[in-house]
């Protein structure tokens, strides 16, 4: 696994980009897909729950859908933490300030 840091301060506003090869790319893509699927499910639970609240007979089910959506909102930071831990196995000696990926939501 080769690692290199590319810095182009004039064109990328002092951004350091860290590349560890194909393994990191695959890991990032898997967690991105997992995060996107989680976000779609969150939206689905809340939309269906909101529609169910229009019908008094479905209020109980709507409440459960909102609870499921809320629990899935807690899964998002777990996905991010798991990704960070997983990536740290591939780059344990790199300082986290040298790697620009804090803005990603996955």
Tens of pLDDT, residue by residue over 1-57, are 444 444 443 344 443 445 566 666 677 778 888 889 999 999 999 999 999 999 999
- Asked whether residue 70 is assigned to any structural domain, the reply reads yes
Quote the tokens at residue 51.
């529609």
Count of structural domains, the chain? 1
- Asked whether residue 34 is assigned to any structural domain, the reply reads yes
- Asked whether residue 102 is assigned to any structural domain, the reply reads no
* pTM beyond cutoff 0.85: no
- Asked whether residue 72 is assigned to any structural domain, the reply reads yes
Structural domain boundaries enclosing 42: 22-90
- Asked whether residue 62 is assigned to any structural domain, the reply reads yes
- Asked whether residue 68 is assigned to any structural domain, the reply reads yes
Q: How far apart are CA 88 and CA 95, in angstroms?
A: 10
Quote the tokens at residue 55.
């019908």
- Work out the widest C-alpha separation in the chain, in whole angstroms: 61
- Asked whether residue 53 is assigned to any structural domain, the reply reads yes
* Statement: residue 91 has pLDDT above 90: no
Element (H, E) at 7: strand 4-7
């Amino acid at each position: 696994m080769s690692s290199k840091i590319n810095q182009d301060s004039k064109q990328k506003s002092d951004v350091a980009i860290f590349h560890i090869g194909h393994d990191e790319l695959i890991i990032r893509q898997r967690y991105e897909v997992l995060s996107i699927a989680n976000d779609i499910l969150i939206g689905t639970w809340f939309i269906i729950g909101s529609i169910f609240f229009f019908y008094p007979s479905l209020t109980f089910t709507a409440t459960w859908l909102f609870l499921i959506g809320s629990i899935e909102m807690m899964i998002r930071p777990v996905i991010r933490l798991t990704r960070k831990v997983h990536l740290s196995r591939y780059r344990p000696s790199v300082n986290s300030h040298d790697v620009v990926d804090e803005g990603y939501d996955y």
